[in-house]
Structure 1
Amino acid sequence: MLPMSNVDPQELAKFSELAHRWWDPESEFRPLHQINPLRLEWIDARVGGVAGKRTVDVGCGGGILAESMARRGAQVLGIDLAGKPLKVAQLHAMEAGVQGLAYREVAAEALAAEQPGSFDLVTCMEMLEHVPDPASTVRACAQLVKPGGWVIASTINRNAKAFLFAIVGAEYVLRMLPRGTHEYAKFIRPSELARHAREAGLDAVAGCGLEYNPLTRRYWLSEDQSVNYMLAFRRP
């Protein structure tokens, strides 16, 4: 959490409306709020508990995952290159009084050069499909983590089913996300993500899929990685 002396009250006021939109579980960010507990439990189980772990959340956005990990006792740095969501995240953390949480507007590659091998856990959720060079981000994550530490990433598979579910269904039919949120060509197959990680010196440890029922509006984790999925890697 940033010290109160380092906060401009006018900035707090400016981003208050944005903050409540990002953290409104019924807004366009509803899917992130719904899947966050599932992701958090899976991450927690993989790494033997996030409590006490020095963690960096790459592409943290408004801080939904970063804040939930901090609430569990992790020492979290959330990083992003989008300034407005970071301010939203900072404001929400201050309003909630969350400890052990900080945010920076910095690229993963720049932080990796600055603090190599400094983190027990690196998370990168729903970010790799939004960058021009996902392999570069994976390399940065591998550089950031300590030997024996964990890198956990989530993204979207690239196939016909993923196109139907993640773009046609989510953006056009169900309107769960704004149109244009995703670009099919940037989706990443699990084998491609695993290759990027292997080339960066990481070992694949575990994976899972994330499924959704539009009738019950319920998400759950499964073995099916055909659309949304998470992979866990470890640095030897």
Structure 2
Amino acid sequence: MTVNADPAELAKFSELAHRWWDPESEFRPLHEINPLRLEWIQGMAPLAGLRVADVGCGGGILADSMARKGAQVVGIDLSTKALKVAMLHALEAGTPNVEYREVSAEALAAEQPGSFDVVTCMEMLEHVPDPASVVRACADMVKPGGWVFFSTINRNPKAFLFAIVGAEYVLNMLPRGTHEYLKFIRPSELAAHCRAAGLAQQQVRGLEYNPLTRRYSLSSDPSVNYLVATRKT
């Protein structure tokens, strides 16, 4: 199986892996949005007792928080360094019910089809060569009626201005080169990928940042960052 990953993207995040759990590092935005996305997921799929796959888990920020809500979590990624950081953090923090594996979404779907109650794939689709393949894999690994949650970045002039120029060059919230505009995904494109994979869209929310208050919030505007909740039909 050809691995659906960009070596340059893996190298980029591997270099920063040791900083995943530093809330003042390049990963500060992920730490700040995590309570929002966790509450959003919990609102539709209460996690206690559920089996969850976190695709593209990185250093485990979301996976760790879902495990603390009582889910049995498998976090997967193709960055060896990020996974080692995730494992070390789980060990040090005593996080229960979480394991990490270096495996692709497609490989896990082939190995364990229809075996998860919830699948999350957050801030990951815009970093892979073939996002449709990841969407299919997420659909394949979730049970019928199960939930699949995505978050990514819209592709339009406003998103370029806010997510790249603003976040990477003006506010220095992210390292320069974190995102590539042409890899951004319009909501209509993600919706088409989901329909083709047998996932029915349930909700779309925008994620906005106020530079004055330095706070994130969920909104009805998906023009830059957005989250999509789907269920397997």
Q: Same fold (TM over 0.5)?
A: yes
Corresponding position of 1:226: 223
**Matching residue within 108, 112, 116 for 1:111:** 108
| Identity percentage of aligned residues | 75
Which residue of structure 2 lines up, in the alignment, with residue 39 of structure 1?
A: 37
Aligned length: 219
User: What code does the residue aligned with 1:66 have?
Assistant: A
The one-character-per-residue Cα deviations of 1:81-131 (angstroms, maximum 9, x if unpaired) are 010000000000000001100000000000000000000000000000000
Q: Secondary structure at the match of 1:62?
A: coil
Larger Rg: 1
Shift of 1:22: 1.3
Secondary structure of 1:208's aligned partner: strand
TM alignment of 1:160-175, pairs within 5 A: 160-175=157-172
Q: After TM superposition, give the deviation of residue 207 of structure 1 in Å.
A: 1.2
Give distance in 1, aligned partners of 2:224 and 2:209.
10
2:128 match: 131
Cross-structure match for 2:203: 206
Residue matched to 2:175:
178
Q: CA RMSD in A?
A: 1.2
Query: Structure 1 segments of 4 or more deviating over 4 A?
Result: none
- Identify the match of residue 25 of structure 1 among 23, 27, 30: 23
Matched, 1:102 2:99: yes
Corresponding residue SS for 1:181: coil
Using the size of structure 2 for normalisation, the TM-score is: 0.92
2:163/2:224 contact within 8 Å kept = yes
Distance 1:38 1:199, change over 3 A: same
Aligned partners of 1:208 and 1:52: how far apart in 2? 26
Distance 1:44 1:190 in 2: 22
Separation of aligned partners in 1, 2:80 and 2:201: 32
Secondary structure of the corresponding residue to residue 216 of structure 1? coil
Q: 2:55 aligns with which of 58, 66, 70?
A: 58
Q: Distance in 2 between matches of 1:22 and 1:36?
A: 13
In structure 2, C-alpha distance between the alignment counterparts of 1:96 and 1:18, rounded to whole Å: 17
Q: Which residue in the other structure is 1:81 paired with?
A: 78
Out of 143, 154, 160, the residue aligned to residue 146 of structure 1 is 143
| TM-score, length-scaled by structure 1 | 0.91
Question: C-alpha distance in 2, partners of 1:162/1:52?
Answer: 37
Q: CA deviation at 1:18?
A: 5.2
Q: 1:153 to 1:18 in 2, by over 3 A?
A: closer
Secondary structure of 1:34's counterpart equals: helix
Match of 2:11 in 1: none
Displacement after TM superposition at 1:222 (Å): 0.5
User: Structure 2: which amino acid aligns with 1:83?
Assistant: T
3-state SS of 1:224 partner? coil
How far apart, in 1, do the equivalents of 2:117 and 2:181 lie? 32
Change (3 A) 1:31 1:196: same
How far apart are 1:181 and its partner, in Å?
Answer: 0.3
